[in-house]
Amino acid sequence: MADAILPMTSRCPFGQTMRDTHFMLAPTHTPLNHGSFGTYPKPVQRRLHECQTLSEARPDYFQRYEFPEMLDRSRAAMASFLDVPVDEVVFVPNATTAINVVLENLRFEKGQVILHLSTVYGSVAKMIEYIHETRGTESVNVAVKYPIDDDVLISSFQTAIRDIKFGKRRVGIAIFDTISSLPGVRVPWERLVEVCREESILSLVDGAHGIGHIDLGLSKVQPDFFTSNCHKWLYVPRACAVFHVPKRNQHLIRTSLPTSHGFVPSPRGLSNEIVNPLMIDSSGKNPFVLLFEYVATLDVSPYLCIEEALKFRREVCGGEEVIKKYCEEISSKAGRLAAEILGTDVMENETKTLTKCAFTNVRLPLEIGDGQGEIPEKDLYPVAVWMTATLVRESDIYSPVFFHARKFWSRFSGQIYLDLGDFEKGARVLKTLCERAKNGEHLRQKARL
């Protein structure tokens, strides 16, 4: 079922035509979850292979001389796209890496805590735990149960800061998303950055789902640290993320992870300078940029696909606003249709801010309890795992199933290669799986395993 949301122009029509013409998705696969790993179009794939071929044709020459110049062009394109200075932009493999870099580099003082929302991404939560294990730094978790209005979230965040101060402690850094992962909702991150600035707290914005998805306005919002995965919504190959650190904070980032040739040790009376074995002239380059220019041996080709991805979005898709409008509208329509099929509702607050993005969370008709047809408390996670795996293994449809605030949900991603019929198909299969879960099929399959 095609759904013409936008009037067609000279650009390639979105939906099935876009998918067939420009993407490499398997014909039988229904990808309702662009958010986790993304995908990229054929022109970007050609650029990726071109860069890999250049690297293998003259490995030393490419890595030492060609790559730095090509990387600078990618950084310039990204800086222009984000409207920030080019010497504040570097690339890392993913947003998790960037967040690890920030937390590992900061020197937390006694009494300082890490403040974060309960919806923080799982790997980030584990990194916070690692910092606690190795340094003793405490963390404070702001409990968030959606759907809530932005004002409530901001108030809870401010209350947590006041409570920390009352306990004779202070926040060293606050971590929050632009768009959280599970549930997939837009977070009022701009307002959270403002609160941090007013309280003299460093803000670390996990924009993993941000770039290519929503308007960011970094030059106006001015977070202290920002990262976003380009390989999700921007159509860049995995693994590539932008890491933006304003000049005012670059002195806080002493090393990359792992520490590599760009690190400049503090003087301590060593008689011999540590020689850079790459033997390239890096004089005059911003130390922060140089720190991330060469970090161990990686396939850096994805970093060099930024310009091609932006060109595709501009020339084939019609530009950023056209892409965002379609993705948000198809996501919204998909959520309403799925909720109608399932007999449930969409996760949304009273002010309608949660769905101002290309994610929609649809509640599944499953009840928690010990009665007939209900899901026992101990089976919440196993049911979500079973449903997600069975959905893709049996029907070749992927949409994550999860539970939040004592309810089961499925997260849909609006994307330019999807039509409304794709979501209708997914919702009908999910409805069948819910009935199977009510009958305890997940337990029988687990027993057979």
The model's pLDDT over 40-82, given as tens digits with 9 standing for 90+, comes to 999 999 999 999 999 999 999 999 899 999 999 999 999 999 9
Banded model confidence at residue 8, pLDDT cuts 50, 70, 90: very low
Angle formed at CA 354 by CA 362 and CA 350, multiple of 5 degrees: 95
pLDDT for res 440: 85
Banded model confidence at residue 447, pLDDT cuts 50, 70, 90: very low
Instruction: Answer whether residue 387 shows pLDDT above 80.
Output: yes
Report, as an integer, the average pLDDT of 370-381: 91
State the pTM of this model.
0.93
Q: Tell me if residue 337 falls in helix, strand or coil.
A: helix
Please give the residue that has the higher pLDDT: either 267 or 156. 156
Instruction: Give the number of other CB atoms < 10 A from CB of residue 202.
Output: 18
Instruction: Answer whether residue 4 shows pLDDT above 80.
Output: no
Instruction: Answer whether residue 28 shows pLDDT above 90.
Output: yes
Banded model confidence at residue 5, pLDDT cuts 50, 70, 90: very low
Among the listed ranges 214-228, 262-276, 307-321, 388-402, which one has the minimum average pLDDT value? Answer: 262-276
Q: How far is 149 from 130, CA to CA, in rounded Å?
A: 32
Q: How far is 291 from 71, CA to CA, in rounded Å?
A: 13
Tell me how long the chain is: 449
Share above pLDDT 90 across residues of the chain, in percent, rounded to a whole number: 85
Q: What is the mean pLDDT of the chain?
A: 93
Report, as an integer, the average pLDDT of 114-137: 96
Report, as an integer, the average pLDDT of 354-379: 94
Banded model confidence at residue 2, pLDDT cuts 50, 70, 90: very low
pLDDT for res 6: 42
Q: Phi, psi at residue 169, to the nearest 5°?
A: -120, 175
The 10s digit of each residue's pLDDT in 264-314 is 888 776 656 777 777 676 667 889 999 999 898 889 999 999 999 999 999
Report which of 149, 118, 189, 177 is spatially closest to residue 347, judged by C-alpha positions.
Answer: 149
Tokens standing for residue 27: 């014909």
